[in-house]
Amino acid sequence: MAETKQDQVIVGNPKSFALTQGNTYDVIERDGRKITIVNDNNVTSTYYASVFKDEGKSKAKAEAKPKAVVLPTTPEIMESFNYDLENGTIGFEVQGNPFVFATGLGNASTNISCGVRQIFGLNNFIDSCTEYLEENLPHIPAELRDEIVDAMFVAGVKALMENVTQVAMFLASTNTNYAEFSRLDAQLSPMTVASHTRMNPNSNNEIKVWVLDQQFTN
């Protein structure tokens, strides 16, 4: 006894009379390896099932196929980058979605001279940016995430120096045993006019001091 179903099929191999590839046809009857439909000539005809592909299976296969993830680029993100010095927050957009988080990067006067200021919060900036991106943009690969964090760090330091006037130079320092020291050093070096590494006798930790020239931002 033939099995009758109210379903549809799509032509996958139109090497048969009065069928169009890609067209959908209502199934009148399924009988073993044969399917009966009304063809393009409005004639009820029976074809081998190999001519068709089931629409339901085709849709399921298409839905199961994961959508391609479009990753942002560092330049795209940095176009919207903003460091709010007054509130101590970083803002940026990723594909039209805004993100804002607090950062500890800042500067303060020193007792050396009124023309010398200290930049603080270097390690905190790298760590907080990395953690924020990991939590809020987990689809971004680690390599791209680190590239974005580095770009934000440089932009943040530049924004800080550009918005503080009457300064001859800035000082920055951190322990060389900081987990992300090498990448931090790589970002600061292009801004540096001098640097020194010495052992801190109070903690036996090696520290590095960078002298940053404000002219870097011009």
Please write the tens of the pLDDT for every residue from 171-209. Answer: 999 999 999 999 999 999 998 999 999 998 988 899 999
Amino acid letter for position 155? A
Do residues 100 and 201 share a domain?
A: yes
Residue 166: pLDDT band (50, 70, 90) is confident
Among candidate residues 44, 64, 84, the one where a domain is terminated: 64
Average confidence score pLDDT of the chain: 85
Are 167 and 205 a contacting pair, CB within 8 Å?
no
Residues 28 and 79 in one domain: no
Which pTM does this prediction carry? 0.67
On the 0-12 / 13-18 / 19+ scale of CB atoms within 10 A, 106 is middle
- 104 and 195 belong to one structural domain: yes
What string of H, E and C letters represents the secondary structure of the chain?
Answer: CCECCCCEEEECCCCCCCCCCCCEEEEEEEECCEEEEECCCCCEEEEEHHHEEEHHHHHHHHHHCCCCCCCCCHHHHHHCCEEECCCCEEEEEECCEEEEEECCCEEEECCCCCCEEEEECHHHHHHHHHHHHHHHCCCCCHHHHHHHHHHHHHHHHHHHHHCCCCCCEEEEEEECCCCCHHHHHHHHHHHEEEEEEEEECCCCEEEEEEEEEHHHHC
Residue 126 forms part of a structural domain: yes
Residue 148 belongs to a domain: yes
Residue corresponding to tokens 């299976």: 57
What is the tens place of the pLDDT at every residue in 122-132? Answer: 999 999 999 99
Domain of 55?
8-64
Residues 149, 212 share a domain: yes
Going by pLDDT thresholds of 50, 70 and 90, the confidence category of residue 146 is very high
Residue 3: inside a domain: no
Are 116 and 194 in a shared domain? yes
Q: Does residue 69 lie in a domain region?
A: no
Q: Is there a domain that residue 2 lies in?
A: no
Residues 71-117 pLDDT 10s: 889 999 999 999 998 888 999 999 889 999 998 888 888 888 888 89
Mark whether 32 and 123 lie in a shared domain: no
Number of domains in the chain: 2
Please report which confidence band the pLDDT of residue 52 belongs to, taking 50, 70 and 90 as the band edges: confident
Q: List, edge to edge, every strand of the sheet that includes 106-109.
A: 106-109, 116-120, 169-175, 205-213, 192-200
**Same-domain check for residues 57 and 78:** no
